[in-house]
Amino acid sequence: MPAEIIDGNRLAKSIRSETRRQVKKLKFTPGIAVVQVGDDPASTIYVDYKQKDCERVRFHSEVYRMSERATQDEVIDRIQTLNGRKEIHAILAQMPVPDQIDGQAVIDAIAPEKDTDGLGAANLGNLMINRECVLPCTPAGIVRLIESTGEEIEGKHAVCVGRSSLVGKPIGLILLNRNATVTYCHSRTRHLAEQTRSADILIVAAGKPEMIKADMVKAGAIVIDVGINRLEGRLVGDVHYESVKETAGYITPVPGGVGPMTRAILLENTLKLAISQCG
């Protein structure tokens, strides 16, 4: 039987509507600032999308576009100024940054209570010790997609292909904290197919177009495809969707799976931060 498609667009829409509903009830306006350094075209598009999303739910949003030649001190100064502003409840530093800047140092300069991407060392450390924290947007979105299947996480074998601090590592930790048994795979993993075939929940965030084929997936598995790649003019994931959807129990499409959820969770995180600072 073909897999059930997990519709990220639909779930993201319901998160946006709920956020908007909550904002209407507030006596203040949640504020978010986005800092982009340089003019990487993909980053500019992402920042524009994020700003539009914020406007749709009636957040106050500010975008700071800094020069490609900005120094680390200048960027951190900007973040610190934003940390000190009461009407800005959430700050996001758009990655990647130019080579002269240490991106993690910039993220770590964001006050943890305003770190809406949840990628600062303080938030990631809290995730590591299973303490309440801001969950990073993409991993938090992935968990919601898994939950939407109605399947239990506890006791399942989750395999994460990819171990970045942005996606792979945090999603593995979140699932471990939810009592899954977690395996991390990466570019040096031997016999990758053996690992992926043993997954009840398979999360693929490797950035390699269509690398996961049907014979690498257990029948009935939940398959979450995080990858976004251009292949011969098409947008494809890291999973060979057409074949894997015949084997998996549930699968996310690309586009329309994880991507819209990442954007929706940013709104939800920002609302939560604003309420915790003003509510």
Residue 161 engages ligand NDP in binding (rule: CB under 6 A): yes
**CA gap 198, 203 in Å, rounded:** 12
Q: Is 183 in the site for ligand NDP (CB under 6 A)?
A: no
The single residue among 134, 221, 226, 266 that binds ligand NDP, judged by CB under 6 A, is 226
Of 70-78, 81-89, 114-122, 199-207, which part binds ligand NDP (CB under 6 A)? Answer: 199-207
Of 70-78, 114-122, 124-132, 256-264, which segment contacts ligand NDP by CB under 6 A?
A: 256-264
Separation CA 100–CA 85 (nearest Å)? 27
Task: Find the catalytic residue in 53, 108, 115, 117.
Answer: 117
Q: Select the residue interacting with ligand NDP from 206, 223, 251, 274 (CB under 6 A).
A: 206
Binding mask 85-124 for ligand NDP (x = CB under 6 A): ----------------------------------------
* Least Cβ distance, residue 1 to ligand NDP (angstroms): 27
What CA–CA distance (Å, rounded) separates 79 from 235? 34
Among 67, 74, 186, 193, binds ligand NDP (CB under 6 A): 186
3-state secondary structure of 188: coil
Q: Are 221 and 199 in contact (CB under 8 A)?
A: yes
- The full DSSP string for 152-175 is --TT-EEEEE---TTTHHHHHHHH
DSSP annotation string for 69-126: T--HHHHHHHHHHHHT-TT--EEEEPSP--TTS-HHHHHHHS-GGGBTT--SHHHHHH
Cα(58)–Cα(173) distance, integer angstroms = 32
Active site residues: 50, 94, 117
Question: What are the residues binding ligand NDP (CB under 6 A)?
Answer: 138, 161-164, 166-168, 185-189, 192, 205-208, 211, 226-229, 258-259, 262
